[in-house]
A and B are shown apart, each in its own frame.
Chain A
Amino acid sequence: MSGKYIKITPIAETIPFDNETNGFIAENVQEAIEEISNSIKSNYLYSRSNILIPNTWLLNGNIPSNVSGTLIYTNNTQIEKIFVSNEIVNNFDISIYSHDGNNTNLVLLGTVNIISSKGQYFPVSWNVAINKQIAVRLTSGMAKNCIVGLALKGTV
């Protein structure tokens, strides 16, 4: 049996890429690979020990996040998920803000409601501009030894 060997040298740019269900912008393989290469995903944690009363800012490291938040250094940054845990089963609200540092120009990005739980996560799509800082606040209810995580994605 004999056959014919055909060498194919595909060009990624010419191969279509389905972006309908995966969040990609790219429409061909070349762009999709570059999109992956240029994208950054990161998680940030904010916490505060003991009982948290309403309007308590969570700490970013050891500093209240309204004073020094997490600086956004990526383009097209979006908060994708918020995950919250605390010691007691309780109802409380966690609000995410952007600001310019030291409590200046605080803008509410959104709020999630923890209901009768020690831990919950929330898919969100909140955009944050580059060079803004992120702060996290317990805005109502009460929590104890609370940790809030944010999953962010952006591009360089």
Chain B
Amino acid sequence: MKIIKNNGIADITIIDVGITILAATQYTIPSQDYMLWASSNDIIVYVGSSQLIVNDGSVDLELANAIALIQGNFTQKLKIADTDGKTIDSVLDTDNVRRLAIDIKGNVAAFSGIGQLSEKVAITIDGEYINAWVNIPLSLINKIADVTIFDQTGYEKIEADWRLLSNNSTLQIRSQISHTFTVHIEGYYFTL
């Protein structure tokens, strides 16, 4: 939506689009006229001098965004806030990889892959636990997507029995010999 507000006390005629916006009124640009307004120099002058204000249907825009909206290349930035409502302004760049972890709260109908987590758990099965299903403790993941089991070094893949329970929130493995495993788990953390 592209709305032009005239909050002043005088009517303003934007000559090169052929529109007069009366004092203390606003005008919604018809979509058919977007290209006409996009090429207008007069609207830039009025917006630049703060005589007219551009609103995107939600908020009044600052100058650069206002002009960008009129000219059709405006994309609103979304602000991400933490649980206290504090806006996150920057993302720490570690290992030359820009990452942002986002917890998804609320009812999630479909997961888009954002916020994927991975955990490694070392576990030794021996004694009475041999040939029994053993729970793998997870620190954060509560929705398991994939499991890979390695040997103690964490590099050599091992075929071992494993299963998911409780709607993919619990992982169990089983070994017929005494062994120390490194279990790689990929999944997500949901709070509803």
Q: Which residues of A contact B (CB under 8 A)?
A: 48-51, 53-59, 62, 64-67, 102-103, 137
Contacts and interface: CB of A to CB of B under 8 A. Distances in A.
A64 B13 contact: no
Contacts of A102: 15
A79 to B, nearest CB: 20
A152 B13 CA distance: 29
A56 B19 contact: yes
Interface of B: 11, 13, 15-20, 22, 27, 30, 32-33, 35-36
A115 B15 CA distance: 28
A56 B32 contact: no
Given A50-B30, A54-B20, A56-B20, A62 B36 contact: yes
Nearest to A136: B18
Nearest to B11: A55
Contacts of B33: 49-50
A147 B86 CA distance: 53
A66 B15 CA distance: 8
Contacts of B32: 49-50
22 contacts: A49-B32, A50-B30, A50-B32, A53-B19, A53-B22, A53-B27, A54-B22, A55-B11, A55-B19, A56-B19, A57-B18, A58-B18, A59-B18, A64-B16, A64-B17, A64-B18, A64-B36, A65-B18, A67-B16, A67-B18, A103-B15, A137-B18
Contacts of B18: 48, 56-59, 64-67, 137
A86 to B, nearest CB: 15
B66 to A, nearest CB: 21
Given A50-B32, A103-B15, 17 more contacts: A49-B30, A53-B27, A54-B20, A55-B11, A55-B19, A55-B20, A56-B20, A57-B18, A57-B19, A62-B36, A64-B17, A64-B18, A66-B15, A67-B15, A67-B18, A102-B15, A137-B18
Nearest to A60: B18
The 8 A-B pairs of least Cβ separation, nearest first, read A64-B18, A57-B18, A55-B20, A50-B30, A49-B32, A103-B15, A67-B16, A66-B18
A55 B16 CA distance: 13
Contacts of B15: 64, 66-67, 102-103
A48 B16 CA distance: 14
Contacts of A137: 18
Contacts of B19: 53, 55-57
A58 B33 CA distance: 12
B5 to A, nearest CB: 14
A102 B15 CA distance: 8
A146 B171 CA distance: 69
Nearest to A49: B32
Contacts of A64: 15-18, 36
Nearest to A135: B18
Nearest to B15: A103
Contacts of B35: 62
Nearest to A53: B27
B27 to A, nearest CB: 7
